[in-house]
């Protein structure tokens, strides 16, 4: 699992906390991020998958010059708050687009 989320076993997720994924829509690793989110959700981990359409890997470094960075920051803040509430898993794989 350390190198490839596709190798996640059914036992591995039991060790993981609630997860929020922020995935850049034009990231070369986008599909791996989506696969990881799907595997987590289907294996009982409370998972929020967020795809930021139209931006490349590392877009956050543009800060205030790119309006989507504010959405990214809010999504990460919300993810931390959610994880601290110890949420229950829905088992559904839902992608939120920003």
Q: What's the number of domains the chain is made of?
A: 1
Paired tokens of 20: 């929020």
Q: Tens place of pLDDT for every residue, the chain, 98 residues?
A: 556 777 878 788 878 899 999 999 999 999 999 999 998 998 899 999 999 999 999 999 999 899 999 999 999 999 999 999 988 888 889 999 99
Give me the domain span that covers residue 38: 17-97
Instruction: Return d(Cα 30, Cα 36) in angstroms, integer.
Output: 10
Give a yes or no: residue 12 inside a domain: no
Give a yes or no: residue 86 inside a domain: yes
The model's pTM is 0.88
Q: State residue 78's pLDDT score.
A: 96
Q: What angle do CA 16, 35, 88 make, to 5 degrees?
A: 40
Give a yes or no: residue 9 inside a domain: no
Give a yes or no: residue 6 inside a domain: no
Q: State residue 2's pLDDT score.
A: 59
Give a yes or no: residue 1 inside a domain: no
The set of long-range contacts for 35-40, using a CB threshold of 8 Å and a minimum separation of 24, is 35/5, 35/6, 36/5, 36/8, 37/93, 37/95, 38/93, 39/5, 39/6, 39/8, 39/13, 40/8, 40/13, 40/16
């Amino acid at each position: 699992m350390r190198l490839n989320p596709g190798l996640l076993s059914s036992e591995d997720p039991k060790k993981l906390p609630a997860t929020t994924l922020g995935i850049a829509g034009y990231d070369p690793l986008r599909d791996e991020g989506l696969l990881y989110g799907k595997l987590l959700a289907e294996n009982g981990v409370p998972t929020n998958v967020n795809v930021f359409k139209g931006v490349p890997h590392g877009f956050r470094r543009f800060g205030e010059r790119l309006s989507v960075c504010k959405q990214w920051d809010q999504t990460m803040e919300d993810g931390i708050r959610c994880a601290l509430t110890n949420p229950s898993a829905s088992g559904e794989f839902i992608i939120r687009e920003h």
